[in-house]
Structure 1
Amino acid sequence: MELKNVILEKQDKVAIITINRPNALNALNSETLKEINVVIDDLANDDNIYAAVLTGAGKAFVAGADIKEMKDMTTMEGRKFGILGNNVFRKLENLDKPVIAAVNGFALGGGCELSMACDIRIASAKAKFGQPESGLGITPGFGGTQRLARHVGLGMAKELIYTGKIIKADEALRVGLVNAVYEPEQLLEEAKKLANTIAGNAPIAVKLCKEAINRGMQVDIDTALRYESEVFGECFSTEDQKEGMTAFVEKRDKTFKNR
């Protein structure tokens, strides 16, 4: 599939994904969602990429789902569109490599939901977040009713979703929606720096950490701890574990090979 609305760049071990519909504030239409899906598959199959950064072109991260496409949808068409978005975002969430959302501007509706499907969110001081769907006569449809509460707590999520309130980056930091806020000109470099730090660790171990965290959040603590023990043990079958611990003992630099 030819990419028209998404740019994929690969810089050493880090991928940069840019939603590129700046004239539409990077609004997510069906075509863009399908392109994101293609990019996720590409990264899943690339053993040389260890982490990714997701951002938007122009002054928006993603201003939302494409209202022009949605406004005349039937019930069935709306349901199919919601399933498409949820399936793509869930695939992103389950990608076996960490994804950092570098939120450079508006992250509203589907844009906020896209950022929440990433592992880590950092924001420009000019970024704005919100789930304003109730003001358009709809509910969040790409995971907002589920992920927002997991990130900021039930009460804050309900307030933001019921009111449709849009919050600035400093408030998003205060409520725990983002990890850090940077000046706009620093954002992408800080995101790349974070991605490269992650990429410098053993990729199999990072993948298993992500899997254990994500699975553990959905089950009781005892089940989660049993799974943690399983993946902890699995690490000892890898060459990277031997290299990491041997390098530590020998006080030398380590070289991970994703094996």
Structure 2
Amino acid sequence: MSAPRTLFVDRHEDRVWVTLHRPAERNAVDATMVAELHDVCAELERDPKVLVLTGGTDGVFAGGADIAQLRERRRDDALAGINLRLFERIRALPMPSVAAIDGWALGGGAEIAYACDVRLATSRAKFGQPEPQLGILAGAGGPFRLVRLLGESVAKQILLAGRTLDADEARQVGLVLDVVEPEVMVAATDKLVDRMLRGSRTALRLTKFAVDAPPEAHPHVDLLAQALLFEDSEKFERMTAFLNRKTAS
């Protein structure tokens, strides 16, 4: 596999940091980036780890889709869901994904952040969907994801009224977990991932699976996931250690 042209990929034992890197284009999502992110997804499907997706700490997460390419797309391109299918694949990764957002996340750049399981923002982060100004809609998951994440009222404020959320507003409405300063974003994100991974990775995967299951799958999917975990050796090891600590104290 050749080295990515639009990404920096930093692999660790339990997580993979992926930095969008098209600085001259404000990290706009183009066809090459889509293909390279699909390669990352394939890797994480084969060898599940936490994905951390960021635009770095230069004040831009992603300024949207590449307008020059978007202008040339036609009906069949829209129906193919080029960006939507990638973002759905990120959403469906086996282990959790975290978007670490410093600065602007607009259009498709915001939509890729919505596809991640958890979002952490710096104090200069901003979220917006300006697509109607370009004669299109937020077609890569924005409408249905924002309704699920924030409710219909706030979603319509962003999608229809052009409201831009700053970092504090994003935290208030629950779009981001926390707001930190840019210089500590990497450390804060790693601390968040560390907290996730303190638990059983199998339990983490199955919890994500249960949360993402469609409403009609509950409670059956929850019962089946718990049944698997009840037979897992790590459950016995962790509970025995807990009980031993409790007895010792």
- What TM-score range do you get, normalising by the shorter chain? over 0.9
3-state SS of the aligned residue for 1:251?
A: helix
Asked if structure 2 preserves the Cα contact closer than 8 Å seen for 1:132 and 1:163, the reply is no
Find the counterpart in structure 1 of residue 164 from structure 2.
166
Greater Cα shift, 66-75 or 101-110: 66-75
3-state SS of the aligned residue for 2:24?
A: helix
Number of aligned residue pairs: give it.
Answer: 244
Identical-residue share of aligned pairs (%): 33
> Given the alignment of the two structures, is residue 56 of structure 1 paired with residue 52 of structure 2, yes or no?
no
Asked if structure 1 preserves the Cα contact closer than 8 Å seen for 2:59 and 2:124, the reply is no
Find the counterpart in structure 1 of residue 229 from structure 2.
235
Find the counterpart in structure 2 of residue 7 from structure 1.
8
Find the counterpart in structure 2 of residue 70 from structure 1.
70
Asked if structure 2 preserves the Cα contact closer than 8 Å seen for 1:14 and 1:196, the reply is no
Find the counterpart in structure 2 of residue 244 from structure 1.
238
C-alpha distance in 2, partners of 1:130/1:95? 25
Find the counterpart in structure 2 of residue 84 from structure 1.
82
State the TM-score, normalizing by the size of structure 2.
0.93
Show CA shifts across 1:113-170 (max 9, x none). 1111111011010011011111111011110011011111001101210122322111
3-state SS of the aligned residue for 1:100?
A: strand
**Structure 2: segments with no counterpart, 5+ residues:** none
Offset at residue 248 of structure 1 (A): 1.6
Find the counterpart in structure 1 of residue 126 from structure 2.
128
Aligned Cα root-mean-square deviation (Å)? 1.6
Change over 3 Å in CA distance of 1:78–1:225 after alignment to 2: closer
Find the counterpart in structure 2 of residue 189 from structure 1.
187
Greater Cα shift, 175-184 or 236-245: 236-245
Find the counterpart in structure 2 of residue 23 from structure 1.
24
C-alpha distance in 2, partners of 1:189/1:213? 27
Find the counterpart in structure 2 of residue 46 from structure 1.
47
**Structure 1: segments with no counterpart, 5+ residues:** 253-259
C-alpha distance in 2, partners of 1:227/1:77? 35
State the TM-score, normalizing by the size of structure 1.
0.89
C-alpha distance in 2, partners of 1:52/1:251? 33
Find the counterpart in structure 2 of residue 256 from structure 1.
none
